[in-house]
Structures are given as C-alpha cells and as structure tokens.
Structure 1
Amino acid sequence: MADVLSQNEIDALLSALSAGDLKPEEVQKEEEKQKVKKYDFKTPQKFSKEHIRTLELIHDNFARITSNYLTGQIRKNTKVKIETLEQLTYEEFIHSIPNPTVLTVFKMPPLNGSVLLELNPQFTFQVIDILLGGTGDRRHVNKEFTDIDKNIIRQIASGIIANMKLAWEDVLEVVPELETIETNPAINQTLAPNEPVALITLSVELGKTTTFINLCIPYLSIEKVIDKLVVQYWFQPDNDSALDESKEKMKKSLDSVEVDLAVELGKTHVSVEDFLRLNTGDVIKLDERYNSPVKVIIENEECYFAKPGVVGKNMGVAILDIIDKDVDNYE
C-alpha cells in the first residue's frame, strides 16, 4: 500500500510541478524505485540478520580465545578481533584470497561438511619467523611454503581450530577435526561455486603489523542446526527430558479432543423440481463409481481416501491413503 501524503506534501508537490522544478516522469520513476526491490536468485540470502548476529557473537568469543592462544604460543602480545561478517558465494571467497595461502580444511561434528580457515601469507610467515627466532618485523615475503613451513603452521592452525570447541559451547557441542592444509585455494573443490557461505574476517594485530584471518562457514554445514543460531535459544534451559515430557502431555491432551468426521460417497446436481419430487425408494445417481475410493472429511478438510465396508453390524471405512494438501497449496 502506498504512503498517504499530507496536505503540505501535496501542496509542495503541485507547486514543484507547476514551476517546472519537478517533471511527472521523475515522480513516476521515484514511485517505481520504491515498489521494486531487486533480488538475485543466483545468490539467495539464506543467512538472516539474526543468524549473522549470532555468528558474530560466537566468533567474537572465538577471537578473544585465539588472542590468548597466539600470545601464549609465540610469546608476543597478539590481538584478534572481528572486522567484517558477510554472506557471499564460495566462488567469491576463493577469488578474494591470495595464491599461495594457507587454507585449512576442517570438520566440526555434528555440523555437516567442511569449514575453511584461511591464514594470510603475511600472518603465516610472520608467525613462522617469530617461532624460528626472528622478530617477525618483515613486511612481505614472496616465496612458496616449504615442508618445514607447513609442519609449523599445521600445529598453529590445529590450535586455532581447537578454540572453536570453547567458542561454540553455548550453542552446540562441536568437535573440531583438522582434515588437510592446502596452499593453492584454486584446487580446493569442497563446495559448489554458488554455495552461500558466511565469511568472517578477523584482523590480527601482532606488534606493529596488522594481518588477517578468514573463516568460511558454508550454509550447508549449519543448515540442520540453523534454529539454534538464535540468541534466545542460548537462554533456554538445557533439559531434553522436560521438553519430551511436555510434548507427551500435549499429545495426551489432544487425544481427548473431539472432531467432526464424515465420509463423502460422491456428489450430484439435481434441480429444485426433481428434489421436490423425491420419494422413498428413489435412487440418486452420484458422480463416483461403486468401487471408487471415498473421501474422509475431518473438520471440513479432505484428509484420507478410504474403502467403504461393514464393521460388525455397523458401516465403516478402511483408510487407503492420505490426501496430500501441501501440493495444492504450493502450486
């Protein structure tokens, strides 16, 4: 519904049109801009604002834990904090990171699939330099990673990933497991190019240098626990037995509820004249055959197909199939 203009706004609009300051085409274009909102179906927004906010809270805690871990490992004051958290596609993430880099692939059961941790080469060589006795003040190192470099950074990456367990404990009990480390991101084909991912960029302040770490969480990984990525969920009591008991009580309460049930043998159309002439013994022809399934109607909703018959001395029906209403609703 369009916004209602006040009298002052109407007078101002008419004055602008009469003076030539505003053209009718411009008003129409402005209205079209307000009515139409672009949406790219190739990159659907699967993460809601609430999910993004929850992921930000989780990994803000992860950043603090990682700061303490790195400070203890390299014996140098390190500060890690979240810079950005956005949704994009996996292809965009891969194209945004340098080559070579350190791309750590790991799992976090019960989450599905793999999660990616990208350690910027500048950060990686800075840490290696400090651990091997240097100062870590070199600004840029342009060389390939050796086997010694990979072994050193593998230990650091394992420690960073292990911090996920503590960061996620308020939401879910995860078990991080390092799978592999790649230095060429182009050969990593763990996800489809257009798969939505949450990209968390963390800045690492080490001495006078600031570098970056990227954490890529695919939507597929958290899809089955997406309902837990709500802040209110954290404050719910973790009592599964009480929840099951409440569900059972609700089911028992519903068992005693009475509903109207009817069986429709068929339909027909008669004129008022024929209706007034009906007498005892007259036969009314229906639109269904005698051996066709009948419909069971519950509270004015068609729910089942059934077969009519006799149960003892009473008439009854045997349920044959469920009428799927969802298909009609989605069409």
Structure 2
Amino acid sequence: MAEVLSQSEIDALLSALSTGELQPEELQKDEEKQKVKLYDFRSPQKFSKEHIRTLELIHDNYARIISNYLSGQLRKNVKVKIETVEQITYEEFIHSVSNPTILTIFTLAPLSGSILFETNPQFVYQVLDILLGGDGERKLYTAKEFTDIDKNIIQQVNAGLISNLKLAWEDLISVEPAVDSIETNPALNQTLAPTEPVALIVFSVELGKSNCFINLCIPYLSLEKVLDKLVVQYWFRDEGEGDKEESKKKVLDRLNNVDVSMHVELGKTHLMVDDFLKLVNGDIVKLDNKFTEPVKVFVENEVSYIGKPGVIGKKAGVAILDILEKDVGNDE
C-alpha cells in the first residue's frame, strides 16, 4: 500500500510544484517504480526460488556425471551443461518438444509418479551414427520415424543416462531409477494433466561440432513429499550428537578393516660382503643401538612411532612410547 501523506506534506508538495522546484515528470517516474507484478492463478508457482536453485545444483552435478558417461560410451569428447531450470505446465512442455522425439518415461523411487526424459532427434541421430560406426559429424538429419532398432539402441543409452541420477541425488535422498517405456509421439503421452506444474531442466550437449538439447521434466507431484529437503541449508545442516557418534563409529569401523604393513628397526650395523656371506644360524650381529634405547616403529615405511622393545608372553614385542606428529609440508 502506498504511503499516506499528511496535510503539511501535501502543502509542501504543492508549493514545490508551483515554484518549479519539482517537476511533474519526476512524480510520474516515482509512480512508475511501483509496478504491479503479473500473477497467473491458472498456473500457480509451486516451486520457490530456493527449490529451483537446489534443483539446479543437483542437476549441474548430474551434467558433469553424464558428460563423463557419454564420453566413455561414444569415445568422443562430450560436454553437457545445464542451461535453464524453470516451472512450466505439462502442456507447455509437450508443445515445446519436436515430433517425433524420444521420450523416455521412468520412475525415481521413492519419488511418486512418472518422470520424463526427452532426447531430441538431433542428439539421437548423432549418438546412433557414432555407435553404428559413423563419426557423428553430419550437419543435417532428416526428420523421420525411428525404427525399432533405433529405439532399442537409444533406450539403452538413455537408461544409462537415467541411472546416473542416483549419483546426482545421493547427497539429498537415495533414489532408484527404473525405465518404464519410451514414446516417440509426445502428444500421445497422457501421464499428467495439461495444467500440472512441472520443473523443466534443459541441458545443452556439445558433441563434436554441433550443439543439441536434452530435457528432464519432473512433475511437482513427484517432488511434493521431498520439498522440505530442496533447500541448500538442508545439505549443510549441523549434525546432532547422535549422528556425529554414528559417523565416528562408521569411520573407525572402516579404518579397522584397512591392512597396513608395520616393522620395527632395532638398529643398524655395517658388514663386509665376505662377513655377510659367512653368516650362519646362531651368529650374533652387533647393532649400533642399545637394548635399553627406544626404537623406531615404521607404518608403510614411514616412521610413525617411538617404541621400546621387550617380551609379551613368549613373543617379542614393542611398547609404543610416543607418536611422531608430522608436519603437513612433509606429507605433500
């Protein structure tokens, strides 16, 4: 609501206008600053800016993961990066994709409902060309119906791309991707109501000398149960004491399973080669270290402890006297 002026402020404003100190155009500029933001009640904004930002972070990581995946599968340098993340309606998404296209329908348990992964013909034909022995450098690809062989090959590629969502989402929630089916005509896919809000994530794919796009369409209904986790602060929240103790226990359990080599250096001596060759069982070799002096304990050939040799039961042993703290610079 605009601020209400007092009578004295109104008089001062009229006086400034009459004396020329204030121009009417300046008042008009102030009024123009207070613009009304349009809001479409038929398409309510279900995703907040924080939700969109978190989805962008998740799938920015996903773009890097599938870049490596595609580079390995195609034996070519592939760069994938996220372009936009926005909320639109399902009808707008369907109208924005080409026909025919490859629309992979999959689930992402425990998220509910179906999620759509769209790979346009440019991307599909390039991938097929490379996998079938070509170089994928054709500039133009004729729009035509995909054959059963085309669909079977690209379904395997898309299944691999979709499976990598598990890695991208693991910091937020553990998910299990599973491909349901593929569709080439987007208009025939009626998994959602036309006005259903969806998060559309657009990726650009640089493959060779050409650029193309792939789209990930996630319905609001699928994310509704985990919206409270779609905030950046959720990832960096402080752990409770119970969580810290559990994490500490897991780390210790993992460390206990690590095999390392250890040995103790009792001392050193110098022998002539002829004397060394004449050594037999029972000979005594004099070392430069007395039995009362501490010895060095090595872990993975690095001096880590100072110990004292002795006997434990019927076996030789060493008691740890001190831990050697290493400087960070020495470890680099």
What is the deviation of 1:226?
A: 0.5
Q: Does 1:82 align with 2:82?
A: yes
Q: Does 1:173 align with 2:174?
A: yes
Number of the residue aligned with 1:60? 60
Q: Does 1:14 align with 2:17?
A: yes
Equivalent runs, 1:108-147 vs 2, <5 Å = 108-141=108-141, 142-147=143-148
Q: Deviations over 1:145-166 (max 9, x none)?
A: 0001001001000000000000
Distance in 1, matches of 2:60 and 2:129, equals 27
- Corresponding residue SS for 1:179: strand
Distance in 2, matches of 1:75 and 1:175, equals 27
- Corresponding residue SS for 2:123: helix
Number of the residue aligned with 2:149? 148
What is the deviation of 1:17?
A: 8.1
- Corresponding residue SS for 2:88: strand
| Contact preservation (8 Å) 1:16, 1:22 | no
Number of the residue aligned with 1:213? 214
Q: Does 1:107 align with 2:107?
A: yes
Distance in 2, matches of 1:99 and 1:12, equals 67
What is the deviation of 1:232?
A: 1.0
What is the deviation of 1:21?
A: 5.8
- 1:117 corresponds to which letter in structure 2? F
Q: Deviations over 1:39-98 (max 9, x none)?
A: 111110010000000000000010000000000001000000001111110000000000
- Corresponding residue SS for 1:211: strand
| Contact preservation (8 Å) 2:111, 2:223 | yes
- Corresponding residue SS for 1:22: helix
| Contact preservation (8 Å) 1:103, 1:119 | yes
Number of the residue aligned with 1:196? 197
My pick for the range that moved more, 230-239 or 149-158, is 230-239
Distance in 1, matches of 2:35 and 2:210, equals 47
- Corresponding residue SS for 2:73: helix
What is the deviation of 1:240?
A: 11
Distance in 2, matches of 1:102 and 1:179, equals 13
- Corresponding residue SS for 2:58: helix
| CA distance 1:136–1:196, shift in 2 (3 Å) | same
| Contact preservation (8 Å) 2:17, 2:24 | no
**Which consecutive residues of structure 1, in runs of 5 or more, have no partner in the other structure?**
244-331
| CA distance 1:101–1:35, shift in 2 (3 Å) | closer
Distance in 1, matches of 2:130 and 2:205, equals 15
What is the deviation of 1:144?
A: 1.1
What is the deviation of 1:37?
A: 3.1
| CA distance 1:17–1:181, shift in 2 (3 Å) | farther
| CA distance 1:240–1:199, shift in 2 (3 Å) | farther
- Corresponding residue SS for 1:198: strand
RMSD: 3.2
| CA distance 1:20–1:50, shift in 2 (3 Å) | closer
Distance in 2, matches of 1:50 and 1:191, equals 24
Number of the residue aligned with 1:185? 186
What is the deviation of 1:234?
A: 1.1
Distance in 2, matches of 1:193 and 1:157, equals 25
Distance in 2, matches of 1:97 and 1:107, equals 21
Distance in 2, matches of 1:18 and 1:144, equals 72
| CA distance 1:16–1:168, shift in 2 (3 Å) | farther
Distance in 2, matches of 1:16 and 1:105, equals 71
| CA distance 1:153–1:239, shift in 2 (3 Å) | farther
**Which consecutive residues of structure 2, in runs of 5 or more, have no partner in the other structure?**
245-332
Q: Does 1:93 align with 2:100?
A: no
| Contact preservation (8 Å) 2:17, 2:23 | no
TM-score (norm 1): 0.66
Distance in 1, matches of 2:163 and 2:199, equals 20
Distance in 1, matches of 2:227 and 2:137, equals 42
Q: How many residues align?
A: 239
- Corresponding residue SS for 1:180: strand
| CA distance 1:17–1:205, shift in 2 (3 Å) | farther
| Contact preservation (8 Å) 2:128, 2:153 | yes
| Contact preservation (8 Å) 1:122, 1:139 | no
Number of the residue aligned with 1:222? 223
Distance in 1, matches of 2:237 and 2:89, equals 33
